[in-house]
């Protein structure tokens, strides 16, 4: 997880803008107005994580709380945490 990039994207863009960037990245081989990279999956993953962090921040969480919640959700999906 690229926490620095996720934090910067979450601060700079709204969830809706990040959603548009995810669509652009999928359609343009990993390139969007928000973020770009050579691996489409990595770009989409980074943008989706930033979108989740931003949504949590808009619900009232601090940045660090939102990042911790994202990490918890990832561990939960991976089956590491219940």
pLDDT digits (tens, 9 = 90+) for 7-55: 999 999 999 999 999 999 999 999 999 998 889 999 999 999 999 999 9
Residue 81 banded pLDDT, cuts 50, 70, 90: low
CA dist 65 and 53 (Å) reads: 9
Closest by Cα among 73, 6, 15 to 43: 6
How many structural domains comprise the chain? 1
Domain carrying residue 41: 3-78
* Backbone φ, ψ for residue 65 (5° rounding): -65, -40
Which token pair is 45?
A: 């993953």
What is the reported pLDDT for 1? Answer: 58
DSSP assignment letter at 32? -
pLDDT digits (tens, 9 = 90+) for 50-79: 999 999 999 999 999 999 999 999 999 998
Q: Produce one character per residue of 66-78: b if its CB has 16 or more CB atoms within 10 Å, e if not.
A: bbeebeeeeeeee
């Amino acid at each position: 997880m690229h926490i620095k990039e996720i934090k910067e994207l979450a601060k700079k863009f709204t969830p809706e803008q990040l959603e548009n960037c995810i669509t652009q990245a999928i359609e343009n081989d990993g390139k969007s107005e928000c973020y770009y990279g050579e691996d489409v999956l990595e770009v989409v993953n980074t943008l989706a994580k930033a979108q989740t962090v931003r949504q949590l921040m808009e619900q009232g969480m601090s940045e660090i709380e939102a990042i911790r919640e994202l990490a918890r959700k990832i561990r939960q999906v991976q089956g590491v945490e219940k």
